[in-house]
Amino acid sequence: MSIRRSTFVMSGDSFFEPGVPIYVNRAYETFELNAHSHEFIEITYISEGAGVHYIDDEAVPVEHGTLFFIPIGRSHVFRPKTPMKDRPLIVYNCLFPVEYLSELQATFPHATDICEFFTDMQLLWFSMKDVNGAYHIMFRELFREFSAKPPGYLAVLDALFVQILTGLFRHRLQIVAPSGDKPQWMAVDDAIAFINYNYANGLKLSDLASKANLSERQFSRLFQHQTGMSFTDYTQSIRMDAACRMLSGGHRSVSEIAAAVGYADLKFFHQIFKKKIGMSPRQYSNSIRSEH
């Protein structure tokens, strides 16, 4: 199945408010919206569900965690996998005029190369996968700031937006870099993303070093340099952060949480938690409840 290109062009006048450089929404995609292009740039994040993105002459499967960069003039439309209302396709859309990139260069001069990259009118659409959920967090916060407009929200929007753009820019550098010729920071970045997403599983430094095509000694040195922690300390910190989130929810026992973050030995989990957090899991849980 394909979607015929549409001549319908969305104007920025329908979205942008005076003094607010971007527009962010969280939309339920349906079968009713027609294929369209627009006079602005769009970055889209698939928040929930699955479906197909028809863009130009391609039908691209999408799922939770898929991002798209969509330049001006690209004909596209999303379609959910099924019309069933209990399985929606939900996306975050971030729209912005190309002029906003010039404004960001003035605010963030060190982001000039990044902004100029996305200003290129010859740049084609591309997609990437949010492997560790970091972009989901940023898009949620972007939407919240845009919708609530608390004091200082424009500064937060700018900062979040530059962070998202930087991630997309780095992704493109990885794509175009010759095989075996990627900067070493990229290899460590990939390892960090893998740890952040797979912290509950058995992780071995030797496996990550092998994936990065580095010796264990070289990988350990680079990892320490980029994170300020050893591989073991970083992994433990990520697991303890996850344990704290679960304890804050108050719906699981300590033993269940220990297993969920990767510790079969409950005594060892208690030792690491107290070392990292400064109190026992039960004390932490009680302190959270007392604050509410």
- pLDDT for position 270: 94
233-291 CATH choice from 1.10.10.60, 1.10.3720.10, 1.10.132.20, 1.20.1440.230: 1.10.10.60
- pLDDT for position 122: 83
Start-to-end Cα distance in the chain: 53
pLDDT digits (tens, 9 = 90+) for 56-89: 989 999 999 999 999 999 999 999 988 877 789 9
- pLDDT for position 154: 96
Fold of 9-176: Jelly Rolls (2.60.120)
pLDDT digits (tens, 9 = 90+) for 260-283: 999 999 999 999 999 999 999 999
- pLDDT for position 73: 92
What's the CA gap between 195 and 261, in Å, rounded?
A: 12
DSSP 209-230: HHHTT--HHHHHHHHHHHHSS-
Q: Model's pTM, two decimal places?
A: 0.73
Neighbours of 143 (CB within 10 A): 19
Domain-wise residue ranges, the chain: 9-176, 184-228, 233-291
Parts of the chain with a pLDDT under 50: none
Question: What crossing angle do the helices spanning 153-176 and 99-107 adopt, rounded to 10°?
Answer: 100
Compute and round to an integer the Cα radius of gyration of the chain: 22
CA nearest neighbour of 51 among 8, 95, 84, 93: 84
